[in-house]
Amino acid sequence: MTQPQVILEVRNLKKSFPRVQAVDGVSFQIPAGRCFGLLGPNGAGKTTTIEMIEGITRPDSGELLFKGKPIDSSFKSQAGIQFQATSLQECLSVRETVEMFANLYDKQADLEELYRLCDMGEFLDREALKVSGGQRQRMLLAVALANDPEILFLDEPTTGLDPQARRQFWDLIEKLKARGKTIVLTTHYMEEAYALCDEIAIMDHGKIIARGAPDQLLRQYFDTVTLVLPPGGPALAPEVRNLAKEILDRPDGLEIRTSQVNQTLQALIASQLDLSKLQVRSSTLEDLFLHLTGKELRES
Amino acid sequence: MNLQRFLSILSARNKEFLRDYSAMGWNFAFPVLVVLGFSFAFSGKGQDLFKVAVVGEPTQEIAAQFLQLNYVQRVAKPAAELEDTLLKLKRHQVDFVIAAGQTPEKVSYWLNESSPKGYLLEKLLLGSVAESSRTQVAKGTVQGKEIRYVDWLISGLLAMNMMFSALFGVGYTIVRYRKTGFLKRLKATPLTPFEFLMAQIFSRLWLLVGSTVIIYVGCHWLVNFTMLGSYLDLFVVLVAGALCLISVGLVVAAAIRSEEFAGGVLNLLTWPMMFLSGVWFSLEGSPDWVLKTAQLFPLTHVIDAARSIMTEGATLAQVLPHVGALAAMTVVCLSIGAAVFRWE
């Protein structure tokens, strides 16, 4: 299989605001048709990074290349953009809002088809400011797709949605991936990145601290499985400690990371601990983030 | 400028405004209510005073007794201002004019044929002149409808309503768009600031012109005010005024992010204009600094021009200096507004 062409390239991008270096030398390449995730806690520099690509924020230094050429004003007509928070005009219906944005572009998507894709039939004629959170995000996605863009930027698109609405939104992104759209997504939900992204970059303090396909990253950093015992149990036997690579006493339980699962389980059974509430899980991107930065994603 | 993008923003803004019934209703109701209020307040008989303009020094031998009557307010005017004074008589700003005749021993007087006060004053004058001197008195007449306060006020109210609607309607709306992040979203599209600002201007312009026409017709039906000039001239003046006031709103809205701050600035602009542009009372006789300051206000030029057309029948050529001032202010404000405009 041939490597797809790089559609977007970011080289050594920097941006500082008074008293904070928001983005500090970020570089990455995105192949066409892939979903690229920028992960990190609030304030990591994700939004600043994609707003520099979108032309909303001017970088202090660095290069931005779209299809090998420096990004200029024509990029706006080829990109679809969904901000973290967008306010719309009052008193306009959902349909009128999407139409208004579509009319700002020379090239327009087939809007009726777009409404079907985003499953907007039931609220097309409702007032745009009065739809539910999930409907609103689907409408904003339709706005971002109104110019039938080659590349789509989604900044925390599911923040604040309930789990069902989030799943529905993920299904929608999968459909867009199937149509070959390149997607740049920021999120602080690790499971979202895992579910949607072909490649991720983890950001913290304005820098990319790890990059790769989610599974590859997990394999690279973890060859372990995590056993979780409920909190407040008796001390672990020395055999168990010897088999563990890492033991973390976290509020939701005692985590034992090990690459020798069978032996560790046998040692646990031999030490006659109550294992009725034992959980076994493989490492997640949350663990990876914790491992890389020493802090929990949501708290930071 | 891309017409499709301009029209897209224009039509969205129009819909947003037209569907905001409370704001729109207020735009129409407010001026009509003010006119109604004033027409009731001034529908009584008015002052019972007779106002006589004494031009130059008419001979005391004949006029002495007349000029010493009680309840007659006398306004002295130099002989050179006879023409001006007769114009005032025509507009019922004075009731009677008395002046020196062609020879010093003679007296001339003028009255407005449609003024009952003039008729009474003539009887008083002639009654006070001795039979033998009657031949020394020459009569002149002018004709002209009375200009009531309401006739005079209407141009000020139309312009004032335009000012509020232009400054708050444009200024406040754009600041709100900026604060909520709507402008930031537009920045991510190919829309240019020029196209966006033009759409805002035209959306407000047709609205201002439309609402002014409706208010004009409504008030005319209610109080039947005087309109002596040409409708086309008045229309040109009002469009020039609307454009100028909208551009002032754009300057305010160009970079401010906070609605509260914008509200403060807009009040700071509108209140002095409301009192120092001659909406409610004539600035004639005000201190020099007031008159000079008033010339800086677009509203002064709109009102002066519209009032001259409506109550004096002035032509566009006669009010051209005002229209020119408005055009110049529009260009200056638009340039500033476009130069400092920020999406965020």
Of the two residues A271 and A59, the one the predictor is more confident about is: A59
One domain, residues B135 and B159: no
Q: How far is A188 from chain B (nearest CA, A)?
A: 22
Q: Is A87 on the interface with B (CB under 8 A)?
A: yes
Q: What percentage of chain B has pLDDT greater than the value 70?
A: 97
Q: How far is B86 from chain A (nearest CA, A)?
A: 56
Over range B146-150, report the average pLDDT. Answer: 77
pLDDT band at B221 (very low <50, low <70, confident <90, very high): confident
Smallest Cβ distance to B181: which of A77, A86, A100? A86
Which residues of chain A make contact with B9, given a CB cutoff of 8 A? Answer: 100, 104
B109-128 confidence digits (pLDDT tens): 999 888 888 888 888 888 88
pLDDT band at B317 (very low <50, low <70, confident <90, very high): very high
Residue A300 has pLDDT above 50, yes or no: no
To the nearest 10°, the Cα dihedral for A57, A63, A65, A69? 110
Q: How far is A83 from chain B (nearest CA, A)?
A: 8
The length of chain A in residues reads 300
One domain, residues B300 and B226: yes
Of the two residues B255 and B342, the one the predictor is more confident about is: B342
* A91 contacts B16? CB cut-off 8 A: yes
To the nearest 10°, the Cα dihedral for B79, B291, B34, B151? 30
Cα B325 to Cα A33, A39, A228, B237, B302: the distances in Å are: 58, 57, 80, 11, 10
* A96 contacts B15? CB cut-off 8 A: yes
pLDDT band at A297 (very low <50, low <70, confident <90, very high): low
Residue A72 has pLDDT above 50, yes or no: yes
Q: Is-contact A248 A199, C-beta < 8 A?
A: no
One domain, residues B23 and B58: no
* B8 contacts A77? CB cut-off 8 A: no
Q: Is A103 on the interface with B (CB under 8 A)?
A: yes
Residue A20 has pLDDT above 80, yes or no: yes
Burial class for A148, CB neighbours closer than 10 Å (0-12, 13-18, 19+): middle
Could you tell me the two tokens for A66? 């779209």
Complex ipTM over 0.85: no
Q: Which residue of A has its CA nearest to B195?
A: A104
Over range B76-87, report the average pLDDT. Answer: 86
Q: Is-contact B1 B195, C-beta < 8 A?
A: yes
* B15 contacts A92? CB cut-off 8 A: yes
Measured distance CA(B210)–CA(B24) in Å, rounded: 12
Measured distance CA(B204)–CA(B181) in Å, rounded: 21
Give the CATH number of the domain where residue B128 resides: 3.40.190.10
Which residues of chain B make contact with A94, given a CB cutoff of 8 A? Answer: none
In 3D space, the residue among B108, B57, B105 whose CA is nearest the CA of residue B79 turns out to be B57
Q: Is-contact B244 B193, C-beta < 8 A?
A: no
B21-62 confidence digits (pLDDT tens): 877 777 777 777 877 776 676 665 455 578 888 888 887 777
Q: Is A125 on the interface with B (CB under 8 A)?
A: no
One domain, residues B282 and B234: yes
Domain C-terminal end among B88, B111, B142: B142
Which residues of chain A make contact with B178, given a CB cutoff of 8 A? Answer: none
- pLDDT computed for residue B282 by the predictor: 79
One domain, residues B134 and B193: no
Q: Which residue of B has its CA nearest to A83?
A: B185
Q: Is-contact B273 B288, C-beta < 8 A?
A: no
- pLDDT computed for residue B11 by the predictor: 92
One domain, residues B325 and B194: yes
In 3D space, the residue among A51, A61, A56, A3 whose CA is nearest the CA of residue A31 turns out to be A3
Over range B87-103, report the average pLDDT. Answer: 84
Which of A90, A94, A151, A184 to mutate: most B Cβ within 10 Å? Answer: A90
B229-262 confidence digits (pLDDT tens): 999 999 999 999 999 999 999 999 987 888 889 8
Residue A233 has pLDDT above 60, yes or no: yes
- pLDDT computed for residue B41 by the predictor: 67
* A83 contacts B16? CB cut-off 8 A: no
In 3D space, the residue among A68, A53, A16 whose CA is nearest the CA of residue A186 turns out to be A53
Residue B168 is given by DSSP the state: I
Overall number of domains in chain B: 2
Q: Which residue of A has its CA nearest to B11?
A: A100
Which residues of chain B make contact with A73, given a CB cutoff of 8 A? Answer: 190
Which residues of chain B make contact with A99, given a CB cutoff of 8 A? Answer: 8
One domain, residues B100 and B12: no
One domain, residues B110 and B232: no
- The residue assigned the tokens 């904003």 is A140
- pLDDT computed for residue B101 by the predictor: 80
C-alpha gyration radius of chain A: 22
Mean pLDDT, all residues of chain A: 88
Could you tell me the two tokens for B125? 């004058």
C-beta atoms surrounding B12 within 10 Å: 22
Which of A99, A104, A147 to mutate: most B Cβ within 10 Å? Answer: A104
Of the two residues B321 and A293, the one the predictor is more confident about is: B321
Q: Which domain holds residue B278?
A: 3-41+148-340
Measured distance CA(A201)–CA(B66) in Å, rounded: 101
Which residues of chain A make contact with B6, given a CB cutoff of 8 A? Answer: none
- pLDDT computed for residue B114 by the predictor: 83
Domain C-terminal end among B113, B142, B171: B142
One domain, residues B173 and B278: yes
Q: What percentage of chain A has pLDDT greater than the value 90?
A: 47
Measured distance CA(A285)–CA(A222) in Å, rounded: 10
One domain, residues B176 and B194: yes
Measured distance CA(B215)–CA(B156) in Å, rounded: 13
C-alpha gyration radius of chain B: 25
Domain C-terminal end among B142, B169, B190: B142
A114-126 confidence digits (pLDDT tens): 999 998 989 999 9
Which of B176, B189, B343 to mutate: most A Cβ within 10 Å? Answer: B189
One domain, residues B137 and B230: no
Q: Is-contact A174 A183, C-beta < 8 A?
A: no
B261-285 confidence digits (pLDDT tens): 988 999 999 998 888 888 888 777 7
pLDDT band at A93 (very low <50, low <70, confident <90, very high): very high
Which of A76, A81, A91, A143 to mutate: most B Cβ within 10 Å? Answer: A91
Lowest-confidence segment of A92-106, A246-260, B157-171 by average pLDDT: A246-260
Which residues of chain B make contact with A89, given a CB cutoff of 8 A? Answer: 12-13, 16, 177, 182
Which residues of chain A make contact with B16, given a CB cutoff of 8 A? Answer: 89-92
Could you tell me the two tokens for B77? 């005017």
* B181 contacts A104? CB cut-off 8 A: no
Q: How far is B205 from chain A (nearest CA, A)?
A: 19
One domain, residues B335 and B269: yes
Mean pLDDT, all residues of chain B: 86
Which residues of chain B make contact with A88, given a CB cutoff of 8 A? Answer: 182, 185
